[in-house]
Amino acid sequence: MSKNNSTDSFPDERTEPPLGQQPVKDSSPGPLPSSMQLTSDGKLKHFLTIEGLPPLLLEEILDRAEQFVSLPNKAKVQAPLLRGKTVMNLFFENSTRTRTTFELAAKRLSADLVNLDIRNSATTKGESLLDTIRNLEAMGCDMFVVRHSSSSAAHFIARYCAPHISVINAGDGRHAHPTQAMLDMLTIRQFKGRDFTPLKVAIIGDIKHSRVARSQIHALTTLCAGEIRLIGPQTLMPEGIEKMGVTSYTNIEKGLDDIDVIITLRLQHERMDSAMLPSIREFYARYGLTQERLELAKEDAIVMHPGPANRGVEIDSRVADGPQSVILQQVTNGIAVRMAVMSMVMSSQAATTVES
Ligand code: NCD
């Protein structure tokens, strides 16, 4: 199993369209992510992608998140690590779980939180993304949490925002969704232990359009997972994906054999260029996670889904609500992981300010 894939990428990642209709100077993903998101002494300054991050840093995020998970409820609202800091949620795409858990995380760390109402903001009047950012900076922002349909959005903002600001990627196009992958790793660790080397993990469904799958693969390889299998129709499998140290299966029955962790994914219709599927019904017939198929995996296998789940499309309700499902635990863990990441990027800021 390859340990790190710092230069590997989904083949179509770098050909994403530019940042919507917004006039921007530069929409390329830019310098290698790891060099961009770490300070010179290796601390997390931005969290844009898992690609290229060292295993120890991922472990640190998980260890910190575990501490937040175990805090009693009262203490959770009193953690003062972001007191006096202003966090701005910039969600250019819809979100329920991610936006809300970022919001709860910021509040539990005592930050001031602003949810920018993009639909009613000046970006709809033709203001460029960069101008919006400059104006929000002028209001005293310390951290942007960004979700955007373009794969380069979070990198773009990180490159051009003021030096004291941190950017956290909450999902960009089909590129990356690093906090989702880390909350998934935390969930796996809680149920399967700290050692990922014996684990066989299967990711099922629309791998091609999934930023979650990409970030999960990077996290799993960095944490040295024993085996990663991708299961889905050829049309939803990125070309050359095996370079990332994974094995692809078009037959779900074979792919699920002896598996410890099953991750199901939503069909990302909004990112499909053309009809890539014969029909939803046929997809479910061939790839839906049913109780019968679940029984092909290990007896104690866990079932995960980043949400939003489409019952009867990628997963049967009996499985989604069944005893092996940890889907709601993933949601709960989202708060702790986001608290961990936010507190880490802010402490790197503090160090930078003291040094400079
Ligand atoms: C995912 C996303 O937005 O990328 N969901 C999430 O963040 N919880 C997956 C999806 O939209 O299917």
Domain segments of the chain as ranges: 15-177+334-350, 178-331
Q: Relative to the CA of 306, which ligand 1 atom is closest?
A: 8
Give the separation between CA 199 and CA 342, rounded to whole angstroms.
29
pLDDT at 32: 52
3-state DSSP of 207-240: CCCCHHHHHHHHHHHHCCCCEEEEECCHHHCCCC
**Residue 225's closest CA among 251, 273, 175, 263?**
263
Residue to mutate, 97, 180, 215, 328, ligand 1, most ligand atoms under 8 Å from C-beta: 180
How far is the centre of ligand 1, averaged over its atoms, from the C-alpha of 308 (Å)? 6
Residue whose token pair is 């639909």? 119
Ligand 1 atom with the smallest distance to the CA of 210 is 4
Q: Could you tell me the distance, in angstroms and rounded to a whole number, from the CA of residue 23 to the centre of ligand 1? A: 26
User: Closest ligand 1 atom, CA of 212?
Assistant: 4
Burial zone of 127 (CB within 10 Å; 0-12 exposed, 13-18 middle, 19+ buried): middle
* Strand intervals (E) in the chain: 86-91, 112-115, 143-148, 166-172, 200-204, 227-231, 247-249, 261-264, 302-304
How many of the other CB atoms lie within 10 Å of CB of 323? 7
Answer for the pair 109, 342: CB distance below 8 angstroms, yes or no.
yes
The residue to which tokens 């046929």 are assigned:
282
Q: Given its phi and psi angles, is residue 52 left (phi above 0), alpha (psi -120 to 50 degrees) or beta?
A: left
Buried b (16+ CB within 10 A) or exposed e, 287-309: bbbeeebbebbeeebbbbbbbeb
Does residue 267 come out as left (phi exceeding 0), alpha (psi in the -120 to 50 range) or beta? beta
Tens of pLDDT, residue by residue, the chain (356 residues): 333 333 333 333 333 333 433 433 334 455 556 678 999 999 999 999 999 999 999 999 999 999 999 877 655 555 789 999 999 999 999 999 999 999 999 999 999 999 998 877 777 777 888 999 999 999 999 999 999 999 989 999 999 999 999 999 999 999 999 999 999 999 999 999 999 999 999 999 999 999 999 999 999 999 999 999 999 999 999 999 999 999 999 999 999 999 999 999 999 887 776 667 778 899 999 999 999 999 999 999 999 999 999 999 999 999 999 999 999 999 999 999 999 999 999 988 765 544 43
Distance 251 CA to ligand 1 centre (A): 24
Q: What pLDDT, on the 0 to 100 scale, is given for residue 128? A: 86
How far is the C-alpha of 250 from the C-alpha of 236, rounded, in Å?
10
Q: Look at ligand 1, atom 7, and give the residue with the nearest C-alpha.
A: 98
Query: Torsion angle, CA of 75/96/169/225, rounded to 10 degrees?
Result: 80
In CATH, the architecture of 15-177+334-350 is: 3-Layer(aba) Sandwich (3.40)
User: Considering the entire predicted model, what is its pTM?
Assistant: 0.90
The alpha carbons of the chain give a radius of gyration, in whole angstroms, of: 20
Mutate-to-test residue for ligand 1 from 102, 212, 332, highest number of ligand atoms within 8 A of CB: 212
pLDDT recorded at residue 354: 41
The type of residue at 252 is I
Question: Can you give the pLDDT at residue 353?
Answer: 46
Ligand 1 touching residue 211 (CB < 6 A)? yes
Distance CA 101, CA 275 (A): 33
pLDDT of res. 356: 37
CATH topology (fold) of 178-331 = Rossmann fold (3.40.50)
Counting atoms of ligand 1 from 1, which one is nearest the CA of 170? 7
- Going from the C-alpha of 354 to that of each of 298, 347, 348, the distances in angstroms are 51, 11, 10
State whether the beta carbon of 207 lies less than 6 angstroms from ligand 1: no
Return the residue whose CA atom lies nearest to atom 12 of ligand 1.
266
Helix axes 327-355, 178-192, angle to 10 degrees: 120
Q: How far apart are CA 9 and CA 154, in angstroms?
A: 17
- Measured in whole angstroms, the distance separating CA 32 from the mean position of its chain's CA atoms is 18
Predicted pLDDT of residue 80:
86
Distance separating alpha carbons of residues 51 and 63, to the nearest angstrom: 19
Q: DSSP assignment, residue 269?
A: G
